């Protein structure tokens, strides 16, 4: 679950920032489960804004780490952005990320359900589902004599 830094009150395109109905302060944003920052400037931006980050290992070692962090912010409502790249590729490759040591599907669903037990989930987005295997399978089947 990674949060989109483009919508932070600390930065962003002025024209876009003017029309947003609300802004999220960086102290109320948590990156959880990211193990590949894709581009170095994303990691720099996270550090620049002081956005807290919990690794998959941090979460495994303390299953209440996210709820404890939410409690520390005083938030009553939670927005969750679930980027599927946090998932462990040996279990599923739904997105573009294939870096090992990700979160298991059961860990992610357990975390989201645990958050929902304690807080009002006001929004849940899912990003980057890519049917990579289905696309490859379709291309392969198109090359077979009975299906072409």
Higher pLDDT, 16 or 97: 16
Q: How many CB atoms lie within 10 A of CB 31?
A: 21
Structural domains of the chain, count: 1
Domain of residue 105, residue span: 5-142
Please tell me the distance from the alpha carbon of residue 122 to that of residue 124, in angstroms, as a whole number: 7
H-run or E-run covering 120: strand 120-127
In a domain, 51, yes or no: yes
Q: Single out the residue of 39, 17, 12, 16 nearest to residue 2, CA to CA.
A: 39
Give me 140's structure tokens: 């392969």
Please tell me the distance from the alpha carbon of residue 82 to that of residue 143, in angstroms, as a whole number: 35
Give me 18's structure tokens: 């003017």
CATH number of the domain that residue 130 is part of: 3.40.800.10
Would you state the pLDDT for residue 111?
94
- The reported pTM is 0.76
In a domain, 35, yes or no: yes
**Residue pLDDT, tens place only, 104-114:** 999 999 999 99
In a domain, 47, yes or no: yes
In a domain, 147, yes or no: no
Task: Return the percentage of the chain with pLDDT > 70, whole number.
Answer: 90
């Amino acid at each position: 679950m990674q949060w989109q830094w483009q919508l932070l009150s600390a930065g962003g395109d002025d024209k876009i920032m003017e029309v947003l109905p609300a802004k999220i302060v960086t102290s109320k944003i948590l990156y959880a489960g990211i193990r590949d920052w894709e581009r170095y400037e994303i990691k720099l931006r996270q550090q620049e804004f002081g956005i807290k980050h919990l690794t998959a290992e941090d979460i495994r070692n303390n299953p209440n780490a996210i709820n404890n962090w939410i409690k520390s912010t005083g938030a009553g409502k939670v927005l969750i952005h679930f980027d599927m790249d946090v998932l462990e590729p040996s279990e599923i490759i739904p997105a573009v990320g294939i870096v090992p040591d990700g979160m298991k599907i059961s860990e992610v669903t357990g975390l989201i359900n645990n958050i929902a037990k304690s807080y009002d989930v006001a929004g849940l987005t899912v990003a980057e589902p890519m049917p990579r295997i289905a696309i490859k399978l379709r291309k392969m089947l198109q090359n077979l004599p009975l299906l072409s």
